[in-house]
């Protein structure tokens, strides 16, 4: 049956894994203060690809010897934590991750993962690379491209209540085009921005690296990820970094591997 859109859209629950938290308005649904720890940085997040970007960067900064400490608090989006009044105060868009920076009396909120990464990298002068225009271009490529992978392909392939050929084919084609963009780039350079490992690598790996490593949507075989040999080698190289393994663990409360779960992080000793 062909769907005919009404003249004016009306909200109807269409099912799917996240139907209970989707709504067409913003703002809090309930009063709930956020917890606050002792460290200068207070991170409120979940170990989705967008959350992993930031925790990987925090752990890479620590691994590199920068004077960084942070508290990472779990935001369970399945239970609607992102709509609590405290979280909305930090991110009015109700999406993870969100960061509150109390360093040197700054007292600033930062939301959107790319903004958080730029804020931290610039503060410590780290992981920006020698070619800033190239790094910025690829960082923003990820920010603009990943919604087609996640909200497009991932939703219709893995989360929609029914499988429909047209949207799956449409977004699978775009996902494979994006994988080819990365694969061709990484045929010529060791890291996405050139000779240096940067926040662009971390951001892109959290989505596309984990996809080709078989961690997103159970779609590696469907997308024939083995065809992207340069992208695969890059993803495996990043995956082997100790800071990346730690970053994947932070704010993770799901999955079968208990050794990878660290729902909250307040100290470097938590990983022990």
Residue 117: pLDDT band with limits 50, 70, 90: very high
Mean pLDDT of 48-60: 98
Region 37-46: what's the mean pLDDT?
98
pLDDT tens-digit series, residues 204-255: 999 999 999 999 999 999 999 999 999 999 999 999 999 999 999 999 999 9
pLDDT at 15 over 70: no
Sequence-distant (≥ 6) Cβ neighbours of residue 113 within 8 angstroms: 50, 51, 53, 54, 97, 143, 203
Nearest-5° angle of CA 221, CA 48, CA 53?
A: 105
Query: What is the pLDDT confidence band of residue 130, given thresholds at 50, 70 and 90?
Result: very high
Hey, what CATH class is 132-240 in? mainly alpha
Residue 1: is it exposed, middle or buried by C-beta count within 10 angstroms (0-12/13-18/19+)? exposed
Quote the pLDDT of residue 244.
Answer: 98
Span of 13-22, 28-37, 51-60, 134-143 with lowest mean pLDDT: 13-22
> Which residues of the chain form CATH 1.20.1050.10?
132-240
Give me the pLDDT at residue 3, please. Answer: 85
Please tell me the distance from the alpha carbon of residue 122 to that of residue 119, in angstroms, as a whole number.
5
CB 42 within 8 A of CB 70: yes
Per-residue pLDDT band for 19 (boundaries 50, 70, 90) equals: confident
Q: Which CATH superfamily is domain 1-127+242-272 in?
A: Glutaredoxin (3.40.30.10)
pLDDT in tens, 63-106: 999 999 999 999 999 999 999 999 999 999 999 999 999 998 89
pLDDT in tens, 159-217: 999 999 999 999 999 999 999 999 999 999 999 999 999 999 999 999 999 999 999 99
Give pLDDT, residue 118: 98
Query: What whole-number percentage of the chain has pLDDT above 70?
Result: 99
- Intervals of CATH 3.40.30.10 along the chain: 1-127+242-272
């Amino acid at each position: 049956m062909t769907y005919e859109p009404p003249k004016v859209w009306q909200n109807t629950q269409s099912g799917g894994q996240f139907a209970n938290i989707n709504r067409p308005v913003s703002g809090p649904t309930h009063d709930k203060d956020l917890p606050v720890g002792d460290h200068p940085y207070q991170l409120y997040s979940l170990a989705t690809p967008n959350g992993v970007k930031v925790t990987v960067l925090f752990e890479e900064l620590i691994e590199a010897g920068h004077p960084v400490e942070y508290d990472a608090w779990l935001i369970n989006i399945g239970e609607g934590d992102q709509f609590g009044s405290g979280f909305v105060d930090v991110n009015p868009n109700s999406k993870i991750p969100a960061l509150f920076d109390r360093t040197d009396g700054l007292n600033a909120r930062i939301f959107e993962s790319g903004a958080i990464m730029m804020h931290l990298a610039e503060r410590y002068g780290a992981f920006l690379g020698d070619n800033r225009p190239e790094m910025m271009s690829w960082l923003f490529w990820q920010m603009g491209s990943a919604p087609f992978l996640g909200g497009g392909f991932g939703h219709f392939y893995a989360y929609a209540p029914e499988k429909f050929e047209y949207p799956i084919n449409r977004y699978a084609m775009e996902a494979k085009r994006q994988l080819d963009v990365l694969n061709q780039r990484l045929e010529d350079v060791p890291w996405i921005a050139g000779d240096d490992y940067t926040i662009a690598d971390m951001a892109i790996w959290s989505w596309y690296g984990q996809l080709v490593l078989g961690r997103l949507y159970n779609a590696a075989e469907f997308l024939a990820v083995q065809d992207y040999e340069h992208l695969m080698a890059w993803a495996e190289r990043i995956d082997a970094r100790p800071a990346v393994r730690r970053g994947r663990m932070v704010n993770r409360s799901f999955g079968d591997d208990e050794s990878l779960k660290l729902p909250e992080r307040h100290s470097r000793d938590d990983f022990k």
